[in-house]
Amino acid sequence: MKVIIQKKIILDENPDCPLFIPYKRDCKYLQNLLGDQLYIELDKIPNEDLEKNIHASPKLVYMKLRNCLKPVIFCSLPADFNDKKSMYLGKKVTDIISKFHYNKFYYIPFEDILQRSDDSYTCKFIEGIFYGLYTFSKYKKEGKERKLTELYTITENTNITDFFNNKFSELQILFKYLNLARDLTNEPSNIINPESFSLFIKNNSQKNVNIDIWDEKQIENKKLNLIAAVGKGSPNKQKFIIMTYKGEPAESGYICLIGKGVTFDTGGTNLKPTGSIETMKSDMAGAAISYALINLIAEMQLKINLTVLLPLVENIIGTNSYKPGDIYTSYSGKNVEILNTDAEGRLILADSLSYGIKNGASIIIDIATLTGAIVVTFGSFCAGYFTNSELLSEVFSKCIDKTKEDFFRLPLIEDYRERIKGKNADLQNVANQRREAGAIIAAIFLEEFVDGKPWIHLDIAGPAYLEEEHPLYGSGGTAYGFRSLYEFVISTYGIINKN
């Protein structure tokens, strides 16, 4: 997308190009930007039409200017307008632009209308545009890609000009990788399995990212027995991928990020019922996000040391599938009894967490579509997180406040720890009280493998893949948490350096 910055609109230029105006009556500055003729025509809009737009819902109208019809998208700005509404508005405007087959438009920045000196509304508006441009239609013969080739910004605000000159390119790169994570999550499991995903990562990563891919024999030899167990039943054999980026070679501290990579989850021997199994191609969303994130950081050459661990498995029924009652010795040395094969994500994460801790991670993060219980708690549009560190919680809270992704913290209730103590082994992978606190029980299980290191667990099972249309993320794979995780990795690496 090319950005052209102008101080005033020239009506004779691009007569078919829509003009998006966040409208405010009696705004003399707006009159200066638009010119008298257009401003007078806008002022003729009936009050009731503006009142219908109190929720910042854009409306396309055609105005007769200089004997031709000019497409104008207008909306009034509610008194409680904020960053999040600005982002949603970007998506809505993009939907209108795409519906009427325009590929460029004029934009009057909110900051100009509201006489603000920052650029936060424009930044969020552009993020909303990027969300609105995403499509996944590669398997549709008549699928059309949404394109926005030019954005004409009408402003005299130097802060907005600085945003487009300095920050806009970073946003473009960020959404390139966010959309890559969405694409991978949307791919069917006959395309993305542990083997093909590994090859994709090997062939589509930044050159300054070191990649080590372990096959099933290496996984067994390294005693990652929980990962080996989950993948036993599939002909698409398990992989364990170690991706390393050293943006500060002289520093020894690093962040370890783990992404759950179950490329399809039938539930294993504890087979999922119809209604729960259809979208399980998305059970590798955490791995897709983690893979995309390290490549984003590497392309931007940030001074960060980051290791990404990707346990990739298919959890399906086969002649060699693991079963309820089986006991395996984890990488940490703790023995785990399997009570439910559909609680597989915590098993592959447990070995990965132990591996990250043993190899010197300063801070450890995991992101996973882990539990249906988190969806019961928060629904499809929100995610949960757990941490053993108040400092990490404080930092993450600031990150989600910036990105406007909805995450809420849940507690690691100590009294529930007894529920995962096994009768026949050190631990069992689910509690006997099956309907209680499922997301908390899963997080407590994971905490058994972090050895007291600062750790945060993001359970994105609800919003990672949406069947219901979301006003910002649409449907399908969303890469939910990608932007917050990006901010969090940058912020927490700063903590490592200070300590």
Structure tokens at 365: 């993060």
Structure tokens at 387: 């941490």
346 is catalytic: yes
Nearest alpha-carbon partner for 345 in 489, 441, 481: 441
Half-sphere exposure of 390 (CA within 13 A, CB side): 0
Q: Which residues contact 1 (CB under 8 A, 6 or more apart)?
A: 148, 149, 150, 151, 172
Q: Where are the beta strands (DSSP E) in 316-362?
A: 327-329, 335-337
- CA angle at 273 for the pair 422 and 346, rounded to the nearest 5°: 35
- Helix intervals (H) in 387-481: 390-403, 438-447
- Helix axes 482-498 and 390-403, enclosed angle (nearest 10): 140
Catalytic residue, from 346, 404, 419, 483: name it.
Answer: 346
Strands 150-154, 104-107: pairing is parallel
Q: How far apart are CA 458 and CA 434, in angstroms?
A: 21
- State the residue for tokens 């390294």: 222
417 is catalytic: no
Q: 116-155: string of b/e by CB count within 10 Å (b at 16+)?
A: beebbbbbbbbbbbbbbbbbbeeeeeeeeeeebeebbbbb
**Which H/E stretch holds residue 99?**
helix 83-99
Which residues sit opposite 23 in a β-bridge? 76
Spacing of C-alpha 413 from chain mean position: 27
Listing DSSP states for 9-55 in one string gives --TTSSTTS-EEEEE-TT-HHHHHHH-HHHHHHHHTS-HHHHHTTTT
Nearest alpha-carbon partner for 20 in 171, 28, 30: 30
Half-sphere exposure of 173 (CA within 13 A, CB side): 15
> For residue 493, how many other CB atoms are within 10 A of its CB?
24
Nearest alpha-carbon partner for 89 in 108, 106, 75: 75
Catalytic residue, from 59, 176, 246, 272: name it.
Answer: 272
* Residues annotated as catalytic (active site), given as ranges: 272, 346
